[in-house]
């Protein structure tokens, strides 16, 4: 069966170059990087080189002091947030947004139970952050502000460098963390000369394997470790380093820089073609984020009055893989917290699909989805309880098509 993988914000295929870079560290160079003998030297050298490559990828100045390898971005976020709070004694206030990934949002909910006060900043209908609300929320005892670089469900980009600057202008003691998981490989990440104190990325979102992440911590920013044990990662993250996977994420970072332009030209062209094709050919389709400021690979489209899970099942039967929200929440019947925060009406909320592309996708795949989407929606529309509403949408769409062809 033909397979079209349009769920690259959930995870990505490991690049062959990445796999080849990793293999020697699974086979011959398996030494523990903390050991003293020759076999281990290859591992510790690989660790050093990988740290340098990741630092270059992120624009970090000091690989040895600023780059910490973790098991995933969820761990990186937990480490950043809890690590700062432990070092900010007496400060009980945090700020984040309503549209963060669960690894940040649910941690804040947990922190509220532990006695912290959290301000959740709202977004508007196109997903943009209310900067004035953020500005006025910063207090004397605000320990940390966490704002993601790019949203995983809509692709909306936040100007985190500008936000970090605002935070520091109002309270220079407040730290700033950004979850850059969905930005890595899609837009240039550069922490140099910025007010960003901490930043997380995850290998499996840019063609490295699952199970390896990074936390950047600006030199001079002190965080407590989350995992206590040996002295690995300058005693900030205990546990023997996963050398093959670290080599993998470093290799993927080099490739991400190499393919950045393609992401923003060819992949963006494919995403735009898919988006326009669906909006033109599917009578009840509505774009959930019209924000121009988006990563180049993501679109989130609402199919009004149709159940998203049913759409996904029909796509799956045709070998088309997409998602109805973040992979971490799919399977739950709760509508997306991101779309709810944007005020997406209930008519689209349950029928929203995220398509996320990568450099492995082709125009032929886009055409295949554009061809099949109207058939799936027509089929599901027939069994929808909202016949009257769907008929109205169909008529409106036809009228629009006529106007477009005349105009
Ligand atoms: N942050 C964002 C924006 C994500 O999209 C994801 C994964 O979907 C994560 C964090 C968590 O990454 P990991 O799977 O490495 O824990």
pLDDT, tens digit, 9 for 90 and up, residues 28-77: 999 999 999 999 999 999 999 999 999 999 999 999 999 999 999 999 99
What is the pLDDT, as a whole number, of residue 16?
98
- Regarding the beta carbon of 73 and ligand 1, being less than 6 Å apart is answered yes
Nearest C-alpha neighbor of 287 from the set 271, 269, 278, 300: 300
- Regarding the beta carbon of 323 and ligand 1, being less than 6 Å apart is answered no
Token pair 């990445």 is found at 18
pTM for this structure?
0.96
What is the pLDDT, as a whole number, of residue 271?
98
Instruction: Return the best residue to mutate from 157, 198, 202, 246 for the ligand 1 pocket (most ligand atoms within 8 A of CB).
Output: 202
What is the pLDDT, as a whole number, of residue 334?
79
Who's near 191: CB < 8 A, 6+ residues apart? 58, 59, 60, 199, 216, 218
DSSP-derived 3-state class of residue 391: helix
13-to-33, 104, 210, 363 alpha-carbon distances in Å: 27, 25, 10, 18
The H or E element that residue 109 is part of is: helix 102-113
What is the pLDDT, as a whole number, of residue 403?
84
Q: 74 CA distance to ligand 1 centroid (A)? A: 6
What is the pLDDT, as a whole number, of residue 6?
98
What is the pLDDT, as a whole number, of residue 333?
64
Domains of the chain: 4-10+260-406 (3.90.1150.10), 16-258 (3.40.640.10)
72 is catalytic: no
Atom of ligand 1 nearest to the CA of 203: 15
Q: 332 CA distance to ligand 1 centroid (A)? A: 17
Give me the residues of the chain with pLDDT under 50, please: 326, 328
Nearest C-alpha neighbor of 296 from the set 8, 4, 59: 8
What is the pLDDT, as a whole number, of residue 329?
53
- Regarding the beta carbon of 327 and ligand 1, being less than 6 Å apart is answered yes
* d(C-alpha 239, C-alpha 244), whole Å: 14
CB 100 within 8 A of CB 154: no
Who's near 44: CB < 8 A, 6+ residues apart? 33, 34
């Amino acid at each position: 069966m033909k397979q079209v993988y349009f769920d690259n914000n959930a995870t990505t295929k490991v690049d062959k170059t990445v796999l080849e870079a990793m293999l020697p560290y699974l086979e011959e160079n398996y030494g523990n990087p903390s050991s003293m003998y020759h076999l281990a030297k290859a591992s510790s050298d690989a660790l050093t080189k990988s740290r340098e490559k990741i630092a270059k990828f992120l624009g970090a100045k000091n690989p040895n002091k600023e780059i910490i390898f973790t098991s995933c971005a969820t761990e990186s976020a937990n480490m950043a947030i809890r690590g700062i709070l432990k070092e900010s004694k007496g400060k009980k206030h945090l700020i984040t947004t309503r549209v963060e990934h669960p690894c940040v949002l649910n941690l804040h909910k947990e922190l509220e139970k532990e006695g912290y006060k959290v301000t959740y900043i709202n977004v508007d209908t196109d997903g943009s952050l209310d900067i004035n609300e953020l500005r006025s929320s910063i207090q004397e005892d605000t320990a940390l502000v966490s704002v993601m670089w790019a949203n995983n469900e809509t692709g909306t980009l936040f100007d985190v460098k500008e936000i970090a600057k605002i935070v520091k202008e109002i309270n220079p003691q407040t730290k700033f963390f950004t979850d850059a998981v969905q930005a890595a490989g899609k837009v240039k990440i550069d922490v140099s000369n910025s007010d960003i104190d901490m930043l997380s990325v995850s290998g499996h979102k840019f063609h490295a394997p699952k199970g390896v992440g990074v936390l950047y911590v600006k030199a001079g920013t002190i965080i407590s470790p989350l995992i206590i044990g040996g002295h690995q990662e300058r005693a900030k993250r205990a546990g023997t380093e996963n050398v093959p996977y670290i080599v993998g994420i470093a290799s993927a970072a080099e490739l991400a820089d190499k393919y950045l332009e393609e992401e923003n030209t060819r992949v963006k062209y494919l995403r735009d073609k898919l988006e326009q094709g669906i909006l033109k050919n599917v009578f009840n389709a509505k774009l959930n984020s019209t924000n121009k400021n988006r990563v180049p690979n993501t679109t989130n489209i609402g199919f009004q009055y149709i159940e998203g899970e049913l759409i996904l099942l029909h796509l799956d039967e045709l070998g088309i893989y997409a998602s109805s929200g973040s992979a971490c929440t799919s399977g739950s019947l709760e509508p997306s917290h991101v779309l709810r925060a944007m005020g997406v009406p209930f008519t689209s909320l349950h029928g929203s699909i995220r398509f996320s592309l990568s450099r492995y996708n082709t125009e032929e795949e886009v055409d295949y989805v554009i061809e099949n989407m109207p058939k799936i929606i027509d089929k599901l529309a027939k069994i929808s309880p909202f016949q009257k509403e769907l008929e109205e949408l169909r008529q409106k769409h036809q009228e629009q098509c006529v106007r477009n062809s005349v105009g």
